[in-house]
């Protein structure tokens, strides 16, 4: 592994850690960087889980210390996510890119419309979680999607927690990170068994993720829900631009790597 690759893995990890802690969709950057560095998409998909695990562990511990995390309800919601995660990971050896782009585009569209047109003043943390039976079905489906692709999973969890569970955006981000942290080891184990994890790349990128997640959960979340809402809208628009070809994250990172070399 070259020094320029190491720098790219750590720096991109910091950016992804911040993005995923405050909003979601950062794993599209992770996957792009891994594939630019020569990984097949299935290996990139598996290796990504290392960074996801470390990032959400860091964020969850920080939120727990700040007394922002409802551990009991978070664990209850994690059970169906774990089941779905394992099932999704078992069928993730091949990813249908067309199906992925359609699903991802639909998710981004609904999240963007909701964030722009929602008039409820649910900007501040502290919303009381009320878990109902149908929420477990939602989180089972969330787990399957997360195990299969993961990219955009944060936005899907935000969609359910904001619309169906009526959380504010700060509380939704906190529970999102905790649920993903609890479920990810199970999907990571499936990829490890199948030999689809590059540990050195994953750990270096994960180091950056830890730094980014710590910065976001320690400082940026304190800027309030309005900041997170605007940040999320911007990130959704960037993901949209990459999805429909207005910009190419792959070309961007390839150029950066070429310049470093």
Q: Residues 85-132: pLDDT tens digits? A: 999 888 765 666 677 677 767 777 877 776 677 655 444 445 566 788
Query: What share of the chain has pLDDT > 90, as a percent?
Result: 30
pLDDT recorded at residue 51? 92
Which range marks the domain in which residue 149 is found? 3-260
Q: Any idea which residue has 């996801």 for tokens? A: 52
Number of domains in the chain: 1
Residue 47 has pLDDT above 90, yes or no: yes
Q: Could you give the residue ranges of the DSSP H alpha helices within 118-168?
A: 133-148, 153-159
CA–chain centroid gap for 63, Å, is: 16
Q: Any idea which residue has 């359609």 for tokens? A: 102
Token pair for residue 134? 């149908």
pLDDT recorded at residue 186? 92
Most confidently predicted of 17-21, 101-105, 180-184, 256-260? 180-184
- What value does the mean pLDDT take over residues 182-190? 92
- What value does the mean pLDDT take over residues 69-75? 90
Token pair for residue 92? 């993730």
pLDDT recorded at residue 124? 46
**C-alpha distances in angstroms, 105 versus 55, 92, 108, 198, 225?**
25, 19, 5, 28, 24
pLDDT recorded at residue 128? 63
- What value does the mean pLDDT take over residues 232-259? 79
Residue predicted with more confidence, 184 or 255 = 184
Residue 42 has pLDDT above 90, yes or no: no
Query: What share of the chain has pLDDT > 70, as a percent?
Result: 87
Average pLDDT score, the chain: 83
pLDDT recorded at residue 29? 85
Tell if the pTM clears 0.75, that is, is over it: yes
């Amino acid at each position: 592994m070259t020094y320029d690759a190491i720098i790219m893995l750590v720096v991109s990890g910091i950016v992804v850690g911040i993005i995923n802690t405050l909003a979601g969709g950062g794993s599209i950057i992770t996957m792009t960087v891994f594939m630019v560095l020569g990984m097949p998409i299935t290996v990139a998909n598996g290796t990504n889980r290392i960074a996801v695990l470390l990032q959400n562990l860091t964020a969850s511990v920080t939120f727990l210390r700040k007394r922002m995390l409802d551990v009991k309800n978070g664990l209850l919601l994690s059970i169906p996510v774990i089941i779905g995660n394992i099932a999704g990971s078992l069928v993730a050896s091949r990813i249908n890119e067309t199906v992925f782009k359609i699903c991802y585009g639909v998710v981004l569209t609904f999240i963007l419309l909701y964030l722009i047109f929602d008039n409820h003043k649910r900007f501040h943390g502290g919303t009381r979680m009320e878990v109902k039976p149908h929420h477990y079905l939602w989180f089972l489906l969330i787990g399957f999607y997360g195990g299969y692709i993961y990219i955009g999973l944060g936005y899907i969890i935000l969609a359910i927690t904001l619309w169906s569970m009526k959380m504010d955006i700060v509380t939704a981000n906190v529970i999102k990170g905790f649920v993903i942290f609890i479920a990810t080891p199970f999907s990571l184990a499936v990829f490890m068994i199948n030999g689809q994890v590059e540990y050195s790349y994953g750990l270096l990128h994960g180091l950056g993720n830890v730094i980014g997640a710590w910065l976001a959960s320690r400082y940026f979340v304190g800027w309030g829900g309005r900041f997170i809402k605007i940040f999320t809208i911007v990130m959704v628009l960037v993901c949209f631009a990459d999805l429909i070809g207005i910009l190419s994250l792959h070309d961007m990172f390839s150029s950066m790597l070429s310049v470093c070399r």
